[in-house]
Amino acid sequence: MAQHDDESAVSRRDFFKSVGVGGLATGVLAATEAAPQAAPGAVGPGAVPVRLTINGRPYNLHIEPRVTLLDAVRDHALLTGNKRVCDRGTCGACTMIVDGHTVYACSTLAIETVGKKIRTVDGLAKDGQLHKVQEAFCDRDAMMCGFCTPGFVMATVALLEKFPSPTPTQIRHELNGNVCRCGTFNRVLEAAHQAAGVQHG
Amino acid sequence: MANETTQQPPAANPNEPTANAKKYAWALPPAKTAILSQRVERVDGPAKVSGTARYTYDIHRPGMLWARAVRSPHPHAKIVDIDLSAAKKAPGVRAVLAWRDPGAEVMYQGDVVAAVAADSEDHARDAARLVNVTYETLPFSVREATSMDAATPKIFPNGNTRPGQTAEAGDLAAGFKAAAHIVEATYDTQVITHVCLESHGAVCEWNGDKLTAWVSTQGVHATRQQLAGALKIPEANVRVICEYMGGGFGSKVSADAAVVIPARLALMTGTPVKLMLDRKEEHLDSGNRPSAFSKIRAGVTADGKCVAFDAQTWGTGGAGQGAQFPLPYIYQFANRKRSHLDVYINAGNQRPMRAPGHPQGCFATEVLMDELADLVKMEPIEFRLKNLPPTAPDAMWAEYYKIGAKKFGWNKRHATGDGGKGHLKKGMGVSACQWGGGGRAGNAHIDIFADGSVVVKCGTQDLGTGTRTVVGGVAADTLGIPLSMVKAEIGDTLLPFAGVSGGSTATAGITPAIRIAAGRAKDAFLARVGAATGIDPAKLTIANGRVQGGGKSLSWKAACKHLGQEPISIDNAWEPGLSSVNTSGVQFAEVTVDTDTGIVKVDRVLAIQDCGLVINKLLAESQVYGGVISSINFALFEDRILDRRTGQMVNPNMEHYLLASMQDIPPVEVMLMNMPERGVIGIGEPPTVPTASAIANAVRNATGVTIRSLPLHPHRVLAALEAHKAGRNA
Amino acid sequence: MKAFAYVSPATAQDALAALKAGGIVRPLAGGQDLLARMKDYVETADTLVNVKQALDSTVTPAAGGLRIGAAVTLDALSRNAQVLRLYPALAEAAGKVGSPQIRHQGTVGGNLNQRPRCWYFRQEEFVCFKKGGNRCFSVDGENQYNAIFGNDGPSKIVHASSLAVPCVAYGARFVIAGPNGEREVPAAEYFTLPTMQNVKKENILGDDELLTHVVLPAPGRIRSGHYEVRFKESRDWPMAFATVVVTTRGGVVDSARVVLGAVAPTPWRSEAAERALVGKPLNAASAEAAAEAAVVGAKPLSQNAYKIQITKTAVTRAILDAAGLKA
């Protein structure tokens, strides 16, 4: 295949035109208990070892495949910084950074993040020193009840790592996936500008 | 340590400032304050931005089980049978609980019927789905009009509606006779839900006959009392903790099923139990703002005096709650009559929602005012000035309108409907608000230790308002030491009693006690330091953490050493003289309406708000931003929608229940009007009252079409524009 | 969610084999739609097959056009230099989906296969035709977001995919892999109008098949335009949108494709609007005429007549976008 210049290509897989049918029997669908004949290499539905790398540290969890990244981090790794609010990928409170991109951790299975770099708000401050985004949020009072704050902080950190000198439009755009009910949007925007070293207004 | 609170002789006037209040009065300008009225960063900011702040949702206790409620899918049904047998046998289940008895009626979708506790949240959810409830469905109503229809069978125990009192003043007939112009119209606002980001719930843990409950609550002491009552155990055996909470907005003022269920399950299992509602449950069963309909006939004289106001109002607060709201709102109609009807529907019950009643009454009145102003051909602010109550410290709208008009560029506002050529029409609107606030419930305790540490204790709550910082800030300012040297402890019933954080009463409820306690602590401290150093205490001052006087200058720590073994330890209750009631504010909004899509965008908002003494400018400003955004959501986006045939909510999530994102938020300018001489009043609620009305008026100005109904969804705006074109809208 | 087994095969061949395992097996791409449906028990699975490794996540030139792997994320698609240059409406549509977080994980294949947002479909309590029930709740219900075209069948949903419309407008073909090999279908034939026989699905993809690529033809001398009528810019879906792809000769349109979104159970091609454009210059007048033609025959439900107006707006503005004119 021809070379391409798409930066986003993760890998290139060749696709074979003819596919042999594997020797899988179609299992009878059991009511609730025993799993039907599983695909080869399948794990679960019961708990299985899942090793996650969170904030640079390994966490050896034992969880069911249906456990989301958010619940794995909060309830199994016991890192409760990121919050659960909608659990449907519609509010951003659970925003984490996985391999450099913000994701809704509630809409990600923990098991599919094995081998990836997971960063949460719990690991942002280093040796008691707040990240410049966290400092800016405090300076500008970009929080009230604080429940949306970890998500906004991570979204802002990712924004600045992606766009070190962001335009005001890029700042607003990258923070569009997060909701605040207390109404801190204006000050979150100010904090993001401050952290970016950009004039606001 | 003594737990003596000061005893004041009962005053003839309950608001008469006490001797303590006079002695420790707020420093008024031009006196300089280090903290009060300044912009001081939130003390719990670092904890919130780093995720170390622990909310109820984050609590993990050893051996903790997860609970899940089973809820009625039907809007109205009789429970025939609750079969828990399959759930009981499900993996990980440790307890099952029938919450209602067979024969009981569930009155709305989401009404709790049973609950389970299991070793994981997934197991609890799985098990809950195995609870088999047999229902006999019954007739229901999910529309106000249906419940008000005489042909509808009786659904609710005491009738489908409940008339309220009729209020009258003046001579209505004479008023209408004197009216040169009359408006007859119906105004309405929708039901919205609180959408606290942290859902309702609790973690309950028994130790013998003592219960510790971590609860997401606006009132730890009130919750303790209610929880004890529900469980029929002594209040003294219950401890309620809420150090951080993810929003309340009025929905977390009492101990509801979400709190009692985990307590019962924990008692059954002997292990801690956590129950946190999910988003759907939150929409269905943790409160809402009632709807409000106002059928108004109002008259104005030729020279612009509001002279007659006749209104029939109604609204629904769900299956068993009322829907009252003030009307007319602020502006004076000498001759008026208003009757109200509470309407019940089979939906979740209302709970107080940020400024209960005021956004609804404000909307109907303020849109009406713009209509009346146009009829007498008066500019809208001038018209309002003519009909406001007399100016007073708690009624400053006239001055705020004038200040705001200048700042906003109000003179550039075009006549109604003249929004320019093309499909993008711009317009401006105004609105006013008032709120009581005040607060009389809050005790404080303060300790000063020999190692220099200071702790202030008050069993109040911080829902994001910044109460923790207020508590520490008032104490630090009074003592004369930096805020960083004071630790504020709140959110625990082990701490002195304080009232519910509601009604914008918390700050006024607790700061007098803190002020006086800190003042008395400072006096006691200086007396001891003076005795130890031989300096006359009257000559000693504390500023910036240094104790000076009589030729000496000591650091705070060095001075504290003189305390020896016994700390300074002072208690005080709330006392009158440092707080008061009633605030006023106005807001201006500018919008752009795309008449080819019906989409309304808010371009900018100006909010002018007073609150008595501003304790912390940074926090107070955030409250105003927050209130404004809340009201923008109310005006444009939010709507609790029930399917008209099945009675079930179609949007119990954050996908179809619309809430603003960053790009929907306009620049907001906040002007706080500090009135230290009035003492502390409160600011949480008033800023959320007028924005929606100002936006509606701006839309009217932009398009020439009066839209008397919220929310301003595109399909509703388009329908109004179309009806106007077809000549169907007066 | 109901508990499920999980497998993440390395190749498409293994993924297809995994789909044939016992019980209900579902492919998991970005997960931004599937997991939410499973949490609401609108969908259950016994096994999830993570296809992100198995499917192509690259954008490659192909015969003058582009071959886009189904595992390309929406974010990557929206920023891809070639897509931006050759098929800008597709990049724009991808860049507006949901939110940054959604776009970082959501994939091309996942978006095209996105199931309806209809709130009756999305709530477990409403057992509608698509879930094996015997009614469509939107009829006489809260149908402000349902279809105004193609709504004679049992279901009145609107198709939820933002990418589907530009794909149809650009004449894309979809590559489908299955147990018997590979096939290609024009995008317009991938999506199906609901009948009593097929109402449980929105497209022709079999349970044992995977959508593997979107193939875009060489653009030639096309100009395209795109407009989405969105109440909220993010965390929302458009209420109506349109992609317009035209070729011009001698200052007038000589071929046109006008495709509407969020108005029908499939991307809705308006030949009437196309006829209104052919032979005319691209300007405000022809845009308005095409918009009027586009809504002829619309059959609104009780609450969604407003969609007629906003569809006209979407078509008008998409044409002006193609013309490089301001709305």
Percent pLDDT > 90 in chain B is 96
pLDDT at A2: 32
Q: Which amino acid type is present at position C90?
A: L
pLDDT at A198: 82
More confident residue, B145 or B13: B145
For B563, which DSSP code?
G
Q: Which segment of A21-35, A79-93, B540-554, B689-703 scores lowest on mean pLDDT?
A: A21-35
Q: Which amino acid type is present at position C282?
A: L
In a domain, A115, yes or no: yes
Instruction: Decide: B696 and B367 in contact? Cβ < 8 Å.
Output: yes
Are B115 and B226 part of one and the same domain?
yes
Are B491 and B504 part of one and the same domain?
yes
Are B674 and B690 part of one and the same domain?
yes
Domain count, chain B: 3
Neighbours of chain A (3+ CB pairs under 8 A): B, C
Percent pLDDT > 70 in chain B is 98
More confident residue, B327 or A35: B327
Show the tokens assigned to B139. Answer: 């007739």
Are B407 and B332 part of one and the same domain?
yes
In this prediction the pTM is: 0.95
More confident residue, A38 or B349: B349
A137: closest CA of chain C, how far (Å): 21
Domain count, chain A: 2
Q: Among residues B125, B123, C15, C18, which one has the least CA distance to residue A46?
A: B123
Instruction: Decide: B106 and B114 in contact? Cβ < 8 Å.
Output: no
Distance (Å, whole) CA B326 – CA A28: 64
- Would you give the end-to-end CA distance of chain C in angstroms? 46
Average pLDDT value for residue range B101-120: 98
A34: closest CA of chain C, how far (Å): 10
**A10 has pLDDT over 60:** no
Enclosing domain of residue B343: 288-437+580-729
In a domain, A161, yes or no: yes
Are B494 and B538 part of one and the same domain?
yes
pLDDT at C64: 96
Instruction: Decide: B478 and B523 in contact? Cβ < 8 Å.
Output: no
Complete DSSP assignment for C228-246 = EE-SSSSSS--SEEEEEEE
Report the alpha-carbon angle C57-C63-C67, nearest 5.
15
Are B412 and B531 part of one and the same domain?
no
- Of C1, C141, C306, Cβ closest to residue B598: C306
Are A176 and A134 part of one and the same domain?
yes
Please say whether the dihedral angle defined by the alpha carbons of residues C284, C285, C286 and C290, taken in this order, is positive or negative. positive
Are A85 and A53 part of one and the same domain?
yes
Domain final residue pick, A68, A94, A123: A123
For B237, which DSSP code?
G
Give the pairing of strands B335-343 and B306-316: parallel
Instruction: Decide: B219 and B253 in contact? Cβ < 8 Å.
Output: yes
Contacts of A121 in chain B (CB under 8 A): 49-51
State the CATH number of the domain containing residue B257.
Answer: 3.30.365.10
Rounded to the nearest integer, the mean pLDDT of chain B is 96
pLDDT tens, position by position, B626-663: 999 999 999 999 999 999 999 999 999 999 999 999 99
Distance (Å, whole) CA A180 – CA B654: 12
Report the alpha-carbon angle B176-B179-B180, nearest 5.
145
**B698 has pLDDT over 60:** yes
Are A190 and A138 part of one and the same domain?
yes
Instruction: Decide: A174 and A159 in contact? Cβ < 8 Å.
Output: yes
State the CATH number of the domain containing residue A86.
Answer: 3.10.20.30
How many CA atoms, within 13 angstroms, populate the side-chain half-sphere of residue B425?
28
In a domain, B520, yes or no: yes
In a domain, A6, yes or no: no
Q: Consecutive sets of 10 residues in chain C, 327 residues long: mean pLDDT of each?
A: 97 96 96 98 97 98 97 98 98 98 98 98 98 96 98 98 98 97 98 98 98 97 97 96 97 97 98 98 97 98 97 98 89
Complete DSSP assignment for B98-121 = E-S-TT-EE-STT-EEEEEEESSH
pLDDT at A201: 58
- Of A24, A43, A155, Cβ closest to residue C21: A24
Q: Which amino acid type is present at position B621?
A: E
Task: Tell if the CB–CB gap between A83 and B246 is shorter than 8 Å.
Answer: yes
Q: Among residues B130, C43, B246, which one has the least CA distance to residue A93?
A: B246
- Of A64, A138, A181, Cβ closest to residue B196: A181
Instruction: Decide: C69 and C55 in contact? Cβ < 8 Å.
Output: yes
Task: Tell if the CB–CB gap between C233 and B663 is shorter than 8 Å.
Answer: yes
Average pLDDT value for residue range B571-587: 97
Q: Which segment of A32-46, B13-27, B457-471, B565-579 scores lowest on mean pLDDT?
A: A32-46
pLDDT tens, position by position, B167-179: 999 999 999 999 9
- Of B51, B630, B654, Cβ closest to residue A183: B630
CB atoms within 10 A of CB B302: 12
Domain final residue pick, A123, A146, A172: A123
Distance (Å, whole) CA B69 – CA B116: 7
Are A179 and A190 part of one and the same domain?
yes
Complete DSSP assignment for C129-176 = GGGT-S--TTTTSS-TTS-SSS-SSS-------TTHHHHHHTT-EEEE
**B519 has pLDDT over 90:** yes
- Which contiguous run of DSSP H or E holds residue B271? none
pLDDT at A39: 79
- Is C125 in the A-facing interface, judged by CB distances under 8 Å? no
Are A105 and A138 part of one and the same domain?
no
**A23 has pLDDT over 80:** no
Are B208 and B101 part of one and the same domain?
yes
pLDDT tens, position by position, B422-440: 999 999 999 999 999 999 9
pLDDT at B9: 61
Instruction: Decide: A196 and A156 in contact? Cβ < 8 Å.
Output: no
pLDDT at B350: 98
Are A107 and A150 part of one and the same domain?
no
Enclosing domain of residue A94: 46-123
C56: closest CA of chain A, how far (Å): 6
Domain final residue pick, B285, B310, B335: B285
